[in-house]
Amino acid sequence: MKEIVIISGKGGTGKTSITAAFAMLAGNNAVIADCDVDAADMHLLLEPDFSHAEDFYSGFKAVIDQQKCTKCGKCKQVCRFDAVQKNDDSYTVTPMDCEGCAYCAEVCPAAAIQMVEQNVGKWYISKIKSQTEMVHAKLGIGADNSGKLVAKVKKEAKNVALQTGKDLILVDGSPGIGCPVVSSLSGADYVILVTEPTLSGFHDMKRVFELIQNFHLSSGCIINKYDVNVEIAEKIHDFCETNSVDHIANIPYDETFTAAMTEGKTIIEFDDGNLTNILKDSWKKILLLTDSH
C-alpha cells in the first residue's frame, strides 16, 4: 500500500481542488484522507455521506470542583497563562486560556482540580461520489489542531484501506510548517507540493521543503497558475531541479477551477479540455513516480 500526500505551505494555491481531481482519477482504488485541519474543504467537492461518525477527543482543560475547593488561591498563583479567575468568592478556569499543563491540579491541596479531556469535534468515514471511502473530520472552533487529529485521520484511512484491499491512500495535507504538517508527512511514500509563482508562494514552499528534507522523502511539484509570473515559475523550476524534486506539471491560471467548485464538482467532472488533460497526465506521472521510489 502506498501513501501520497499533497501539501502547499501557503493557502489558496489550489491544493484542495487538485487533490479532489486526483481523488476522482484514482477511483475506488484509493482511500481519501482530508488532513487539512484548518480548512477541511474537500467534502464540498466529493459529497461524503457522513455514514460513520465518532467523537474526537484532544487536549485537557482544568476544571475546579467548587464543592472541594478551599479557595486557597494556589491555582491562580501558579498558572502562567492567566486562565484561573477569581470572581467574588470562587475560582474558575477560563477554558480558552487553559493550556492543559495541569500545574494547578498538581499543587491543589484539596485535590479539587480535574483535568478533563476535551471533545473537540467529530471524525467520519464516508462513502464519496467516486464510490470509495474518505476519512475526514470537523473540529469545533479554537480546538487544538495538533498532529493528533492528523495522525488519527491517517490511521483510520490506513485501516479502511487494509480492510477493503485498496492499494493507495491519497492525503490532502495540512498548511503551514507546524505540527499538523509534520504529522501529515510522516509515513508518506511520495509528497506533492502544490505551489504558485508568487513571492509568497515560493517562499512558503521553500520553508515546507525543509521539512520534507528532514524526513528524507521523495517529492514532486505542481506549479499552479504558472503564467501569473513566468519568471518566478522558472525559479521554482530551477529550485526543483537543484533539489531533486520531480517537476510534475505547470497548470495555467484558469477560473474554470472556481466555476467547477461553484457547482460542487471536481475539474475532471466539469471540464473536458485542457485542465482535465493536464491533471490526467499528472496523475499518471505521479503513480509512476510513487512506484519507482
Question: Interface with other proteins includes 175 (CB under 8 A)?
Answer: yes
Through-space distance between the first and last CA atoms of the chain, rounded to whole angstroms? 13
Q: Which of 13, 2, 6, 1 is nearest to 184 (CA)?
A: 6
What sections of 74-144 are H helices per DSSP?
A: 74-78, 103-107
| 73: contact with other proteins by CB under 8 A | no
Residues with Cβ within 8 Å of residue 138, at least 6 apart in sequence: 40, 121, 122, 123, 124
* Nearest CB to other proteins, comparing residues 89 and 210: 210
Q: How far is the CB of 89 from other proteins (least distance, A)?
A: 25
Residue from 4, 5, 16, 113 touching other proteins (CB under 8 A): that is: 16
Contacts to other proteins from residues 196-255, by CB under 8 A: 196-200, 203-204, 207, 210, 214-217, 225, 228-229, 232, 253, 255
Which sign, positive or negative, has the C-alpha torsion 176, 135, 247, 252?
negative
Q: Is 155 in the site for other proteins (CB under 8 A)?
A: yes
Residue 266 binds other proteins, judged by CB under 8 A? no
Count of positions on this chain that bind other proteins (CB under 8 A): 70
All three cell numbers of 140, joined, read: 469545533
189 binds other proteins per the rule CB under 8 A: yes
Q: Is 169 exposed, middle or buried (0-12, 13-18, 19+ CB in 10 A)?
A: buried
Look-up of cell digits 467574588: 88
Residues of the shown chain interacting with other proteins in the complex, contacts defined by CB under 8 A: 2, 9-13, 16, 38-39, 41, 44, 58-60, 78, 80-81, 96, 99-103, 106-107, 115, 141-148, 151, 155, 175-179, 182, 186-189, 196-200, 203-204, 207, 210, 214-217, 225, 228-229, 232, 253, 255, 258-259, 261-262, 264
